[in-house]
Structure 1
Amino acid sequence: MGKYHNDQPIQGGPDDPDLLNRLDFSNHLANVLLLNHDDDCLTVSLEGEWGYGKTSVINLVKGALNEKETAPIIIEYNPWLAGKPESLIQDFLLQFSSQLNIKDNSEVALKAAKELIAYSSLFSVAKLVPGAEPWASIVEKVLSKFGSSTKKIAELKKLDLLGKKKKVVAAIEKVKAPIVVIIDDIDRLTPSETFQVLRLVKAVADFPGTSFLLAFDSSYLVSVLDKNDIVNASEYINKVVQLRVPLPVISERGMNQLANIELDNLSDKNLTDRFEADQEKLSWIFHNYFKHLIRNPRELKRFFNHLRFVLEQVEGQVCFSDLFSLSIIATKANSIYEHVKKAPEAYIGKRFSNDGLMMDKPEEVVKSFSEERSQILKEFSERDRKLLEGLLGDTFPLLDSGGYSHYGVSDADSAGRVSAPQRLHVAFHYKTPTGYLSDQEILDFISGDINRDDFLSRVVSEDADDRFFEMMTNYAKECKGNSFDVLTCIYDAFLKSEKLISSLESNYGFMSRDLYRQMNWLTNKVISESDDKYTLIKKLVGRQKSAPLAADVLYKIRSQIHGKKSYDEPWVSEEQLDELEIDYQKVAIKSLSDKTHIDNHLESHIFYELKRSSKDKTSEFMDTVLSGDNGTIRVVEIIGNTGSDSTNGPFVEIDEKSFGDVVDLENLREQAQKIDIANQPVHIQAVLKSIIDGKKYYLRDGVLGERW
């Protein structure tokens, strides 16, 4: 990463070049300022708004002056360094004297410096009066200090200010070198100080062979003079300044060049290659908003300082184009930026913290803040307000106020957009919060660059599984060569976890996003992105620990091939499905025989897919189970979960139509009637009751359910 800017102007030269094409302008201005030593004083103003590069042009002018055959004595005065506003004129003359002596240590320069010091001493009693020349102000001060006429006359003779000034003029003429006095940042002074600087230029230091270059924002200077009771401030400036020169307009090409240099310095890698359509959106934001809102070099530096700071902490976790947009807002409209931080629901319809209080739809929540957003935008000009509204709309689509529609994405979160709460949280907190995980961690997990088991243990301990499965789905296409290892690692971490068991036990309906469904969805996504689907599926189906997920994969393939309305391209051929069915039958029977998945309530899942795969093998297996020790209870365990509904969760409903072809129900019913049902766990009680009477019972509490 490159360095941060401290708003320093350019110095010119090969190490700090002029990128805004102002060198010729500066050379011409230098020629104007370069007087003959006996020419009358000339005052030139360099006028422009703050941040547009007045000081940089001054540095270029100084460079040009120093290269002249007859180089002038350049005296720079910084009014900010004056001790008190009332002593500013005296301070200026003392600095003039000091710099003159330093830059030309000849005898004549030393004499001129001494005369300047003597001249400056007269201003120690000055209190400038608006509308009066400096010496008139001094006379007024003296007359108010002494009572008798004799004392007044004696004191006035001591002043002889005009005489002192003539001696200074005579001494400076003997130096026989042009003098250029540069006074920058006049528009940053207080009204009193600004007034004094103009007065000293006009009447105190208008020496022959001396030119002044004053830099200021004219509109600000007029307002300052108005506050100092100067009537017709613009004309007053014209009396002081003989040549008013506006700063050259910065071309769009010049600003683009500066911006491109800064973008290149942000990072040595492509910042837009991680998220979908990021480069396209960056181009849209740059040309439609950045170029029109970031108007001068100072704003550009502040913008890239902000962008750099955020990027160094969250790079790769939020799409670059949205970080770019937020930095524009922070630079040009900090009040809006702070409002987004304070009330994210006004822009995305959700808060950072899931406090459960946002019951309305996100669109309705955003709409309810419309007036509040409008009040903040009122502080900006009509032009900027329209641009900011467009930028906000393109950054937060629920505002429906932007024109960005050419590069939409299928999912805001997977595209790293701040319209997704998780991404906005990261952008404003400058880090990935606990439970959110970073994109890089997910990529490292997929590639195996970190210990997968340790990482999943952290996911479980931080209760970050929801976010983990969201992001894994986003990055499923990155798995490819590692698909089998990634999926089986996830299965091993979650299939027997307490959270999965609890979620299956408390599942109130098919719409709930329990842990098992998330694994199932991720499995489907990874297979869809795989280049060799059959090999991956065959390995998954042949793994006993993966039997429940393998059952779901086979069910989906069967619907792809034989379903009436399948919109998916089949993952495998019909012949390959037949091979997979045989593999699954072996694994399913082995898994049920070994009770591999008895603790996580997924045996019924395996059983029903085995039943769909081969009724004959299922029937043969169930006969073996029923005839074994404690066979009735074991059959109950296997077939015990036939469905789930939103009323009371998982249920069982055993009838001849569904089970008669794979289980001897009559024999099973006789065996069930011999069992002391009351001493069995509740879910076993429910299954036994359903075997006996064929009715529907809920596994959670054994309550009789209604038939639908």
Structure 2
Amino acid sequence: MQNESYSSDAPVSKIDDDEFSRWSFSERVAQVIADRKDSSSIVIGLYGAWGDGKTSVLNFIEQSLVGTDDVICIKFNPWRFGTEDQLLMGFFNQIADALDKKLTTSGDTLKNIGSKIIQPLSKMANVEAVGDIVTSFISMPDIDIFKTRTEELLETSKKRVLILIDDVDRLDKTEIHSLFRLVKLTADFKYTSYILAFDKDIVASSLQDRYSNSQGNSGEAFLEKIIQVPLNLPHIDRSTLRRFCFQGVDEALKLANIELTQEQVQRFHINYLSAFDDHISTPRKAKLYSNTLMFSLPILKGEVNPIDVMLIEGIRLFYPKLYDFIKNNQDLFAGTFISSQYGNDDANKEHIRELIDETILNLNVTEKEGIIELLKDIFPRLQAVYSNTYHSGDSLKIWDKNQNICSKNYFFRYFGYSLLPNDISDTNLNLLIQDINNWQQPYSIETNPLSVVLTPENADSLIQKLYKKVASIDSIGANQMAIAITQVSEKLPAEDNFMWADAYTQSTWLIADLILNVSKVERVEVVKNLFNHANTIDYQTTIFKFLKHDQRDNAQPNYLNSEEMRDIGTHLARKILAEIQDKDITLDEENPTSYIFWLLNKYINQDVVNDYIEKIISSDDNAIYRILDAHTSTSKNLLDGTNSKGLFEKDTYEYLSKNINSSIIFGKLEQSCSDLLYDLKEYPKVNKREYDRKRTILQQFAWLYKQDWSHREFEFLSNSVNSKVLLFK
């Protein structure tokens, strides 16, 4: 990478730095001044907008006069002086210094001493009149004397003094008035020439208030009295300024070590001409734009789309109100336009158009058309608003891949010059994938690349970003990434979100997709091995739940056949059974108790479930309630986010009875809680918010159990009677 740096906005002074062919103009002005034989003063006005290069022209004029013995250049800076008297004295002294002369005499020293004595006395006496007398005594005669002395020095030297005064338009109104009074006061000095550089409109406006007339053009009229030779800066043609701007953009790209494709260059060029060309009207604005890119491109390199950065930064500089509107309204600009099923698309589109139109209200027709075209390019969602062109979900994937600003996953990166706290950079993501690919056996948590990167805060973003990289990961990398994710599963937030999947659940989806990349002959063993790396039974069972994708929108019917699933399920069931033999899984609410019983029943048999149930309830009566409660549903209150458990209902009972011999539970219930079963004539209902949940759940199970067995006994008797009738016949 080249050692480029931020391009200074400082004016230039050498002919080699003349980007806009102004040296010859400056040289001619300097020559006219040098060749002037008339000793009278002349005042030249150099007019140009802010940033148009006035200071550089003054520098060129000064350089052109180097070596000219009869002309002395001085740059007078009116910013340095507070009062008009100080301004005048500073001006006279600077001319004297340029002529290598002194304005003060030995008599002036005595007067200065007197001023230091008299002024404090006036303050001590607290008499305003004395102060006025002293001020008059000190300032007015001094100014006149020094003015006369300056005139005498000029006439004696016979050398022309060129006074260059820059940035007049940056002074406040009072300072502008003072400066022009100085010029007017000294305009009769012989052998002097003045060049005042300023924006004519700004200065005329400042003078307007002080010298008003009936025609309303008093500011310009006053300038015409002072400025004897008005000169406008030579015009910079549009193509030259554009080339200058593009040179700065190229430097910014080199600094960031970014190479654009021809397609990217063309896209930028089209949008630049459409929206920025008319706004970059001076060299300073071109420098401002390129310097902005020199800052933003390196900072965001690898995290965003470079062309989108270049375009949104242009909007920030030249359309600041629109930029703020975009930044604060992601939903209007990012993503795709979703067509409404109720047919009110037109109203929605019109609303968006009105909001944007209000933001760009002050632009002319050409500017509006140009910026709308740019917006449609960087925010394709607006193509539906302005040209009825819609984009599908496939476009979202492309925008994510290209790191476009129109992607909701990248939008805010463009406005903060940094990542959000819960985000992970694309550069670090690619390095992470590379580290996982290079991970060596034995795959330990200590060497797991994910264990360093993953945090509860960035888990959601990280899992989603890895999910989008699945297609590019090979078989070995997929296996190692699945292991890496499984090992850190305890760090993944498991939030009870019913509206969307949390990082914990999404990670198992990601694992299922990674297994797709593993060669088919290795998939079963790879999955079995994953269970060994999972720290919890819950994560093992969650992986198993989503292996076939049948609960998602990308079902894979040939992913794992029924025989392979039975092999995996049996392996997992036996592994879990071995882990829980000496434990009561109902004591830990994090365990998926009901799913474990289903798994054991399906892939081993119900006997192992019944044996386990008998074992834990024989040593703990409360285990009965925990088993039943684990089978009830959980719901979330969308208003306050709290979870609540459901009751033990008929479908709950039926599910439990498929996996467990319910008679075992009822028998223990009769033995330990017989009082709860007394006089149980109907299904126990809950009519108030606060209730004895344990008592209610146990009674609901008991009632459903009795109903179930009464039905079974009736069926048994009916079948027996029917059999006897048939025999009798």
- TM-score of the aligned structures, taking structure 2 as reference length: 0.62
Indicate yes or no: 2:145 matched with 1:171.
Answer: no
Contact 1:366 1:398 in 2 (8 A): no
Please state if 1:251 is matched with 2:238: yes
The separation in 1 between residues aligned to 2:368 and 2:87, in whole angstroms, is 42
**Cα distance, 1:186 vs. partner?**
2.0
**From 170, 175, 194, the counterpart of 1:212:** 194
Q: Quick one: distance in 2 between partners of 1:86 and 1:332?
A: 42
Q: How does 1:616-695 map to 2 (within 5 A)?
A: 621-622=604-605, 625=608, 630=613, 668=661, 674-676=667-669
Contact 1:35 1:211 in 2 (8 A): no
Where does residue 358 of structure 1 map in the other structure?
Answer: none
Q: Which residue of 1 aligns with 2:548?
A: 555
Match of 1:483 in 2: 478
Contact conserved, 2:20 with 2:236, CA < 8 A, in 1?
no
User: Over aligned residue pairs, what C-alpha RMSD do you find?
Assistant: 5.9
Question: CA–CA distance in 1 between the matches of 2:293 and 2:464?
Answer: 27
Write the deviation string for residues 15-63 of structure 1: whole angstroms up to 9, x where unpaired.
Answer: xx23344344444444344324557655443221111221123223333
Does residue 581 of structure 2 align to residue 594 of structure 1? Answer: no
Give distance in 1, aligned partners of 2:307 and 2:350: 25
Q: 1:263 to 1:555 in 2, by over 3 A?
A: same
The answer to whether the Cα contact below 8 Å between 2:400 and 2:409 also exists between their aligned partners in 1 is yes
Counterpart residue number, 2:526? 539
Identify the match of residue 274 of structure 2 among 288, 291, 298: 288
Distance in 2, matches of 1:441 and 1:218, equals 53
Query: In structure 2, what is the Cα distance between the partners aligned to 1:437 and 1:692?
Result: 57
Q: C-alpha separation between the residues in 2 aligned to 1:299 and 1:404?
A: 36
DSSP-derived class of the 1:470 partner? helix
Pick closer, same or farther for the CA change 1:585–1:517 going to 2, 3 Å: closer
Q: 1:604 to 1:210 in 2, by over 3 A?
A: same
- For 1:20-39, what aligned pairs fall within 5 Å after superposition? 20-38=20-38
SS for the counterpart of 1:519 is helix
Deviation at 1:543, TM superposition (A): 3.3
Number of matched pairs: 597
Q: Is the 8 A contact 1:222 1:234 kept in 2?
A: yes
**Deviations 1:49-94, CA, capped at 9 Å, x for gaps:** 111221123223333333x777842222222223423554553333
Establish whether residue 264 from structure 1 lines up as the match of residue 251 from structure 2: yes
Aligned match for 1:470, one of 464, 489, 504: 464
Work out the CA distance in 1 between the residues paired with 2:456 and 2:198: 61
Q: Is the 8 A contact 1:484 1:536 kept in 2?
A: no
> Cα–Cα, structure 1 residues 629 and 193, in superposed 2: closer, same or farther, change >3 Å?
closer
1:332 is matched with 318
In 2, distance between residues paired with 1:197 and 1:212? Answer: 12
Cα distance in 1 for residues equivalent to 2:271 and 2:282: 17
User: How far apart in 2 are the matches of 1:694 and 1:632?
Assistant: 24
Q: 1:182 to 1:446 in 2, by over 3 A?
A: same
Alpha-carbon spacing, 1:371–1:34, altered in 2? closer, same or farther (3 Å):
same
CA distance in 2, matches of 1:601, 1:681: 23
Residue aligning to 1:151: none
Q: CA-to-partner distance for each residue in 1:184-221, whole Å, 9 max, x for gaps?
A: 12222344544554565567346666543321112223
Structure 1 residues 340 and 455: CA distance shift in structure 2, 3 A: same
Compared CA separation, residues 646 and 339, structure 1 to 2 (3 A): closer
**Aligned partner letter, 2:76:** Y
Deviates more, 1:83-92 or 1:220-229: 83-92
Amino acid at match of 2:77: N
Distance 1:166 1:498 in 2: 85
Contact 1:255 1:297 (C-alpha < 8 Å) held by counterparts:
no
- Residue 115 of structure 2 is matched in structure 1 by none
Given that 1:44 and 1:214 are in contact with CA atoms closer than 8 Å, whether structure 2 keeps it comes out as yes
* 8 Å CA contact 2:252, 2:294 repeated in 1: no
- Cα separation, 2, equivalents of 1:303 and 1:160: 51
1:522 matches 2:510? yes
Distance 2:387 2:83 in 1: 54
Structure 1 residues 164-243: aligned runs within 5 Å: 167=152, 170-173=155-158, 175=159, 179-195=161-177, 197-198=179-180, 201=183, 204-205=186-187, 210-229=192-211, 232=217, 233-234=219-220, 236-239=222-225, 240-243=227-230
Determine the C-alpha separation between the residues in 1 that align with 2:696 and 2:254.
62
- Give the drift of 1:297: 3.0
Q: 671-680 or 398-407: which moved more? A: 398-407
Distance 1:406-1:165 versus aligned 2 partners, 3 A rule: farther
Q: Partner of 1:31: helix, strand, or coil? A: helix
Q: Are the equivalent residues in 1 in contact too, given 2:96–2:150 (CA < 8 A)?
A: no
Higher mean C-alpha displacement, 257-266 vs 382-391: 382-391
Q: Does residue 493 of the first structure (1) align with residue 488 of the second (2)? A: yes
- Structure 1: gaps (5+ residues): 102-109, 119-144, 146-154, 351-360, 561-565, 612-617, 696-708
Equivalent pair of 1:184/1:216 in contact (CA under 8 Å): yes
**Pairwise CA distance, 1:282:** 5.2
Indicate how the Cα distance of structure 1 residues 212 and 515 shifts in structure 2: closer, same or farther if over 3 A, else same: closer
5 Å-filtered alignment, 1:316-327, equals 316-327=302-313
CA–CA separation in structure 2 for the residues paired with 1:687 and 1:271: 69
Is residue 349–residue 362 contact of structure 1 (8 Å, CA) maintained in 2? no
Amino acid of the residue matched to residue 483 of structure 1? A
- Describe the superposition over 1:283-310 as per-residue Cα deviations: whole angstroms up to 9, x where unpaired: 5654433434343333344445555555
C-alpha separation between the residues in 1 aligned to 2:396 and 2:417? 24
Tell me, in whole angstroms, the C-alpha distance in 1 between the residues paired with 2:163 and 2:564: 90
C-alpha contact 2:548 2:557 (8 A) present in aligned 1: no
What is the rounded CA distance, in whole Å, between the counterparts of 2:415 and 2:272 in structure 1?
Answer: 21
Alpha-carbon contact 2:13-2:60 (below 8 Å) kept: yes
Q: How far apart, CA to CA, are the structure 2 residues paired with 1:256 and 1:610?
A: 74
Aligned positions of 1:346-385 closer than 5 A: 377-378=360-361
* Amino acid in the other structure paired with 1:482: G
Structure 2, unaligned stretches of length 5 or more? 108-132, 134-139, 336-343, 440-445, 535-539, 618-623, 638-643, 674-693, 710-729
Distance 1:519 1:609, change over 3 A: farther
1:385-408 deviation per Cα after TM superposition (whole angstroms, max 9, x unaligned): 665566566666667777898996
- What is the TM-score of this pair, normalised by structure 1? 0.64
The residue identity in structure 1 corresponding to 2:463 is F
One-letter code aligned to 1:228 = R
**Matching residue of 2:14:** 12
